[in-house]
């Protein structure tokens, strides 16, 4: 009886030992698998974020391509230091359109305020000078009119304030002191 009891006890201890050993291996493998799952989850999140970033970059690139014409048009509203001459030629073109003569007395760049200051002297009929003023106000750039003055010029070229009635045959002069606000250095 003792033999069978020992055999059974050894078998029972062996089975318990194998069960504990299997449980330890199972627990060890479970912990390793959990750590791998955590690493895989972290990598999956990084891949997802990278894909989202790539999609955003692609969308931004498409948006830049779509809005290129609009950006070019918007850039044309700003005058840079390199394009001052073409801007002055545009103002002279306004004078040609309105049948007025224009003399640009001064061009000054105020680097502190980042504005381009222009002083213009013009002459022509009152209607033409007024039309020039309207063109300047509606130009696709932002002006600040510092001062504007209109005066009627008499037959001898001298100012004649006593006869300020507007007619098509009288010659007027106008002085515009303007700051170009939409100016980039």
Using one digit for the tens of pLDDT, what is the confidence trace for 81-114? 667 788 888 889 999 999 999 998 888 877 776 7
Return the closest-CA partner of residue 174 out of 142, 157, 146, 152.
152
Low-confidence ranges of the chain (pLDDT < 50): 156
For residue 172, which phi and psi values (nearest 5 degrees)? -120, 155
Mean pLDDT of the chain, nearest integer: 83
Alpha-carbon distance of 92 to 138, in angstroms, equals 15
**pLDDT score recorded for residue 156:** 46
Alpha-carbon distance of 145 to 117, in angstroms, equals 10
How far is residue 56 CA from its own chain's centroid?
A: 18
**pLDDT score recorded for residue 70:** 82
User: In whole angstroms, how far apart are CA 143 and each of 1, 45, 131, 172?
Assistant: 116, 52, 16, 23
């Amino acid at each position: 009886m003792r033999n069978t009891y020992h055999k059974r006890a050894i078998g029972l201890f062996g089975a318990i030992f194998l069960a504990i050993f299997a449980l330890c291996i199972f627990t060890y493998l479970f912990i390793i698998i959990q750590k791998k799952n955590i690493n895989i989850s972290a990598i999956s999140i990084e891949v997802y974020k990278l894909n989202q970033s790539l999609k955003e970059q692609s969308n931004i690139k498409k948006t830049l391509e779509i809005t290129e014409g609009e950006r070019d048009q918007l850039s044309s509203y700003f005058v840079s230091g390199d394009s001052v001459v073409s801007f002055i030629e545009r103002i002279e073109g306004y004078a040609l359109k309105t049948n007025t003569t224009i003399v640009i007395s001064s061009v000054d760049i105020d680097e502190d305020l980042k504005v381009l200051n222009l002083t213009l002297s013009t002459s022509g009929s009152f209607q033409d000078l007024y039309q020039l003023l309207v063109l300047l106000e509606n130009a696709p750039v932002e002006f600040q009119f510092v001062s504007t003055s209109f005066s009627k010029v008499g037959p001898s070229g001298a100012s004649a304030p006593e006869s300020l009635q507007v007619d098509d045959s009288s010659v007027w002069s106008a002085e515009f002191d303007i700051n170009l606000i939409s100016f980039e250095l």
